[in-house]
Chains A and B, each alone.
Chain A
Amino acid sequence: MRKYSIFALLLVVVMLLAACAPAATPAPAEEATQPPAAAEPTKAPEQPAQPAEEKVTLTIESWRNDDLTIWQDTIIPAFEAKHPNIHVVFAPTAPAEYNGVLNTKLEGGTAGDLITCRPFDASLKLFEKGYLAPLNDLPGMENFGDVAKSAWITDDGKTVFCVPMASVIHGFFYNKEAFDKLGLKPPETKAEFKAVLDAIKADGTYIPLGMGTADMWEAATMGFQNIGPNNWKGEEGRLALIKGTAKYTDEPYVKTWRELAAWRDYLPPGFEAVKYPDAQSLFTLGKAAIYPTGSWEIALFEQQATFEMGVFKPPVENKGDQCYISDHTDIALGMNAATKHPEEAKTFLSWVASKEFAELYSNALPGFFSLSNEPVTLKDPLAQEFVSWRGQCKSTIRNSYQILSRGEPNLENELWRVSAAVINGTMTPEQAAKEIQDGLDKWYKPK
């Protein structure tokens, strides 16, 4: 019997501990929500001791767990200094889980007060379901132009539901050291691009292109949407797809996949199993000479790379051709319609719409370019370089995001799949085009 008394004792102890845990949390459940990583060991014990005196806690749901430290150390303190009665907690979830977790929390009623919005259809759906509050009369919204707001507005253009935060620009990073050693110049035309890749390959010291297809999205986002706008003439081609006057089986799109297929020869060995972080390491360790991607990498790369980096924009057909860049409205912040603190949440959102935030954010996260009309001075040279392309080229956004990703099969996911397959060589560019167009035709009827 002694054994069982030990068992029972253990049980009692554990139940007591478990029962104490909730009792030690004075704040209402939602308000106590914090990301585990946000726990600074020194701070944690203080909270139960100080009962919340009118101090409101706002929680931000986000998929940007990379930015956690920047929010904690830079952005939130700047806001709290001005609004001492509002405490803000940045609670990111890993990108892969964000959709599932956010939807569950919204339906269960435990989601944070502020919600980071993905562009276009995904957030529109949340608004239609009544989870996001309309923000038309938010002070500060006047700082954004129509293009900036286009990603977070209803189809009739009447209601905005998220405050635009940033866009990202696609392009290529290159290792300046490697280029100098091999006597190469950043390419401007497609022919030059190929010549550069061939030269790097012939030399053999570096992997020409640091990219893999294991995660699939790189093939579509950093490949297809990066080099494609020069082929389909940016907005012209994107809007034609929506209008139905162009199809993915048309030459500009098939050609883009053909160009992608040609990348295969320059990718690292075993690229089919190379994941995104592997490719990043490959470049920052100086093993790959060129890395196709977007401006969002600046902060991480500057921190990790030990060599000088440069960037070049997607090559055009002939020297002097009009160039197009993907300047993608990527991230915004909305308000949970069910928040208990709408006033404080709006105060925060107004601040996000302000010039101060634009300046802070764009410089704390170089490569995320503010969408505000207020001019922002960028300190980072690579970020300056990216943003300078806006003056030389016409901007567009990823062509699968607006309207075309509303149905099933989901266009964006399909683009990931076929683009990866085209690079892997398991699908021809023509097959890829046909599968994409067939999937779209199944549900999309242009108006």
Chain B
Amino acid sequence: MSDSSPVRTATFTYRLRRFFGSLAPHLVLAGYSVFALFPIFMILINSFKTRKAIFGAPFELPNAQTFSLIGYETVTKRANFAQYFINSTIVTIGALLLILLIGAMAAYALSEYRFPGNALLGLYLSIGIMIPIRLGTVGILRLMVGLNLVNTLAGLILVYIAQGLPLTIFILSQFMRQVPRELKDAARIDGASEYRIFMLVLPLVRPALGAIGIFTMIPIWNDLWFPLIISPSAKTATITLGVQQFLGQFVSDWNAVLSSLTLAMVPILIFYIVFSGQMIRSITAGAIK
């Protein structure tokens, strides 16, 4: 009896703490979400306004008076955005899948086997993230000329694989070291081949694969330099290159700038939203054991 009041207080503070404990994260997350989205939102709404309204009332949503599609008309008149989008998609997905496969194989070998020169090879495989990649541009271009890969998407994919491997191997081998040894040894005793064991390990590092997939994909999709050097032709241009050309041409035409920014943002955002579902699943799948 006598201890009922402290208990009540305890449940009260517990409830209070629980209330704030669940509300505070929401506030922080929602607040930061607004901060993350605000600039994107500003571009989006202003791309549908007249030039005067962009300057005069930047915060307002487009209304009957200020609504205008002039920017989109300017932009879509000349550019073949559909083709660029397909090119970007092929290059990005192609490079990404191969990076993950090849990178995971190498990362597995580095983290699993002890062989002479292991550490050195690991270091060698990370040189790529330590030197500005543009330094090698002339060499890469000459190589592409020699292989007759100029103005092809395959040439771009090869460069992006080479460019994406260091980071992928670097991060993946860290995660692969964390896979329990007993599991692999058990499989070995059962007589599984090393390749089979690799296939067993792969699902265990899915969260890492998902995360790496997303952030290897982004620089590839957004790269401007190599499309400009290796594949500038109309048939092989990527969407980032196409948008850049528009930004250059219409730099003082705010309507066109905002519309082409929107056209560049929207595909990758849709892409991301679609794939992030996949990514979430893979990450949470890793958590449920």
Chain A residues with a Cβ under 8 A of chain B: 3-4, 7, 10-11, 14-15, 17-19, 21-22, 24-25, 29-30, 32-41, 44, 65-66, 68-69, 91-95, 97, 100-101, 104-105, 107-110, 276-277, 280-281, 284-285, 300, 304
Contacts and interface: CB of A to CB of B under 8 A. Distances in A.
A36 B234 contact: yes
Query: Considering the complex of A and B, which 5 residue pairs feature the smallest CB-CB distances, nearest first?
Result: A36-B237, A108-B141, A39-B234, A22-B152, A29-B150
B103 interface: no
B48 interface: no
B78 A37 contact: yes
12 contacts: A3-B203, A21-B154, A22-B149, A22-B153, A32-B235, A34-B235, A35-B234, A65-B245, A91-B232, A94-B245, A105-B141, A285-B51
Nearest to B52: A285
Nearest to B90: A17
Contacts of B45: none
A110 B141 contact: yes
Contact of B242 (A37, A68, A109): A37
A97 B87 CA distance: 22
Q: Chain A binding site: helix, strand, loop or mixed by DSSP?
A: helix
Given A65-B249, A104-B138, A107-B138, A29 B148 contact: yes
A95 B232 CA distance: 16
A183 B241 CA distance: 48
Interface stretch (B94-102, B108-116, B167-175): B94-102
B interface secondary structure, majority: helix
A34 B94 CA distance: 24
A7 B252 CA distance: 45
Interface in B128-170: 134, 137-138, 141-142, 144-145, 148-154, 157
Contact of B241 (A19, A29, A36, A304): A36
B105 interface: no
Interface residues of B, number: 54
Given A37-B79, A281-B252, A24 B235 contact: yes
Given A39-B80, A66-B249, A93 B228 contact: yes
Interface in B63-91: 78-80, 82-84, 87, 90-91
A65 B154 contact: no
Given A7-B97, A22-B149, A40 B78 contact: yes
A62 B243 CA distance: 18
Given A22-B149, A105-B141, A108-B138, 20 more contacts: A11-B94, A11-B97, A21-B152, A21-B154, A22-B151, A25-B235, A30-B150, A33-B151, A35-B237, A36-B79, A36-B241, A37-B246, A38-B234, A39-B79, A39-B80, A39-B235, A41-B82, A41-B83, A65-B249, A108-B144
A15 B80 CA distance: 23
A283 to B, nearest CB: 10
Contacts of B84: 36
B32 interface: no
Contacts of A284: 252
Contacts of A280: 252
B245 A37 contact: yes
B90 A37 contact: no
Among A36, A38, A44, the most chain B Cβ lie within 10 Å of the Cβ of A36
Contact of A39 (B97, B151, B237): B237
Interface of B: 51-52, 55, 78-80, 82-84, 87, 90-91, 93-94, 97-98, 101, 134, 137-138, 141-142, 144-145, 148-154, 157, 199, 203, 228-229, 232-237, 241-242, 244-249, 251-254
A100 B132 CA distance: 14
A53 B223 CA distance: 36
A331 to B, nearest CB: 16
A14 B156 CA distance: 13
Given A94-B245, A104-B138, A44 B80 contact: yes
A14 B100 CA distance: 14
B102 to A, nearest CB: 11
A109 B151 CA distance: 13
Contacts of A15: 94
B55 A285 contact: yes
Contacts of B244: 94
Contacts of A25: 151-152, 233, 235-236
A286 B82 CA distance: 37
A38 to B, nearest CB: 6
A110 B83 CA distance: 23
Contacts of B152: 18, 21-22, 25
Q: Which of A29, A93, A95, A281 has the most CB of B within 10 A?
A: A29
Nearest to A41: B80
B151 A32 contact: yes
